[in-house]
A and B are shown apart, each in its own frame.
Chain A
Amino acid sequence: MAKLTDSRKRMAGREAAWAAIREPGLRGGFTVAALSKKTGTSERTLQDYVQGLEAAGYLRCVDQEPVPTGRAITPFRRKVYVLNRDIGLNAPRVRRDGTEIPSPGRERMWRAMRILKEFTLRELMQAASQGGPAVAEGEARTYCQALARGKYLTRIKTDHYRFMKARDTGGRAPQILRVKKLYDPNLGRVVWESKHSVEGGE
């Protein structure tokens, strides 16, 4: 079998969890605690995702093992999971109840603009509205403006862009991040900045 490794050096959230689940080390069965140790993400964060994966059939619970408490007999048990349905590199997007989360509008816009190469905002909205909820005009404009700032797009005229082939970095859509900062107007400077920023919008 060919080895499918993610080309990214760093991953976070469900991508990191899914990559760890697919690795040979956890193929024999794992607990949320083991997954947490492997990915460095807290058990509480992972719990919802693992539960969703089980509900959707990606994982199967094969055993319940006692939680080590230091005593001979413990009433607590935790689930042991195995990979039940491998869909390859990309992590399944599921909610806690196992329902699928539709692909984000920005992902669909990114895919569409790379194929269209030159497009108007409305043309992009039309193509990006396939395969998920319709993309609103404001959302399309915000994303295009951000990508133009990042030199992925050049603006030909109002709401009309060209995709820069040289900046085609791959299949994953660039994200607009919201970095949290604490600003003190007395000092006139940023005194704290979040190391991990979260994706804004959507």
Chain B
Amino acid sequence: MEKPVAPVNGGIAALANVSVCHAALYKAVHRPKHLPGMVVHYGPSGWGKSTAAANTANAFQAYYVEAKSSWTKKALVQSILKEMGVEAARTIYDMTDQVAEQLALSGRPLIVDEMDHIVDKNAVEIIRDIYEGSGAAILLIGEEGLPNKLRRWERFHGRIMDFAPALPADFEDAKALRQMYCSVTIADDLLLEIYEAAKGSVRRICVNLERVQEEAGRDGLDEMTLAAWGNRELFTGEAPRRRV
């Protein structure tokens, strides 16, 4: 059903992280029967995990839910059922069964984003129940510290097939983001500056691309080069220094 991730789609390149995330879920979907079927994709905030998730969810027609800090076990299974379009049963027990059955029958994987919230709420066992009940491939996405947090849940930890860390953005990613975000031409030399200031963060690259575009608009330019940009500041994620 799922095709390998297209590196260039409709003329737009995918970020490197997309392939990492896709490969992890692919492994789980096509695993030999004796291997566990859960995979974890983790990394710092702003590293393009959502973009990777959106691509991967589509490639596998996966069911996707994003956990909230306020979620209870019930909210988790209810959200998955809503995503599936299944009329929810009354008890958590029955709802968990419904989720497992739909996953097992459809053969589609499940993606749980912001998994940290589930761990903090001590609700990981319900994910394990869903996994045991369905045998479905499950992709868990979370922050940098997620693998460590999961270690506490021994029975859960043993069912994880692979931990796939998110990659920092590379210069090719910066070019892809330029293509996705910019109507103004941004020269390669300035893009390199932006890329270096971002220290691997997709979000910071985007913030700076926006900033450069705004400034270009103000200056009435449809192309911005490093020379034209001059010594204006780029957002580096650090608090601004006061000039007093």
Are B98 and A4 in contact, CB atoms less than 8 angstroms apart? yes
Q: Does B179 contact A (CB under 8 A)?
A: yes
| A88-B105, A125-B10, A131-B2 known; A6 vs B85 contact (CB < 8 Å) | yes
Are A111 and B3 in contact, CB atoms less than 8 angstroms apart? no
Are B101 and A103 in contact, CB atoms less than 8 angstroms apart? no
Q: Which of A103-145 contact B (CB under 8 A)?
A: 103, 108, 111-112, 114-117, 120, 122-123, 125-132, 134-137
Q: Which of B2, B3, B86, B98 has the most CB of A within 10 A?
A: B86
List of B residues within 8 angstroms of A136 by Cβ: 10
Q: Does A8 contact B (CB under 8 A)?
A: yes
Told that A115-B50, A134-B10, A170-B85 touch, could you supply 7 new A-B pairs with CB distance under 8 A?
A2-B94, A89-B106, A90-B85, A116-B54, A122-B180, A131-B60, A134-B9
List of B residues within 8 angstroms of A116 by Cβ: 50-51, 54
List of A residues within 8 angstroms of B2 by Cβ: 131
Return the 9 tightest CB-CB contacts between A and B, nearest first: A88-B105, A129-B9, A2-B97, A115-B54, A127-B54, A134-B10, A130-B58, A88-B106, A5-B87
- The tally of residues in A whose CB lies under 8 Å from a CB in B reads 40
Q: Which of B1-28 contact A (CB under 8 A)?
A: 2-3, 5-6, 9-10, 12-14
Question: How many contacts A-B (CB < 8 Å)?
Answer: 123
A3→B90 CA distance, assembly (Å): 12
User: Which of A88, A117, A130 contacts B102 (CB under 8 A)?
Assistant: A88
List of B residues within 8 angstroms of A103 by Cβ: 61
The interface bits of chain B over 161-183 (1 if a CB of A lies within 8 angstroms of the residue's CB, else 0) are 00000000000000000011101
List of B residues within 8 angstroms of A125 by Cβ: 9-10, 12
Are B106 and A111 in contact, CB atoms less than 8 angstroms apart? no
Which range contains the number of B residues in contact with the other chain? 35 or more
Q: Does A171 contact B (CB under 8 A)?
A: yes
| Secondary structure call for the B interface | helix
| A2-B97, A125-B10, A131-B58 known; A120 vs B180 contact (CB < 8 Å) | yes
User: Which of A111, A112, A122 contacts B179 (CB under 8 A)?
Assistant: A122
A2→B54 CA distance, assembly (Å): 29
A137→B12 CA distance, assembly (Å): 11
Are A122 and B12 in contact, CB atoms less than 8 angstroms apart? yes
A26→B87 CA distance, assembly (Å): 21
List of B residues within 8 angstroms of A8 by Cβ: 85
Identity of the chain A residue whose Cβ is nearest the Cβ of B5 in the assembled complex: A130
A36→B13 CA distance, assembly (Å): 47
Q: Can you list 20 A-B contacts (CB < 8 A)?
A: A2-B98, A2-B101, A6-B85, A6-B87, A90-B85, A112-B54, A115-B53, A115-B113, A126-B55, A126-B180, A127-B51, A127-B55, A129-B9, A129-B10, A130-B3, A131-B2, A134-B10, A170-B82, A171-B85, A172-B85
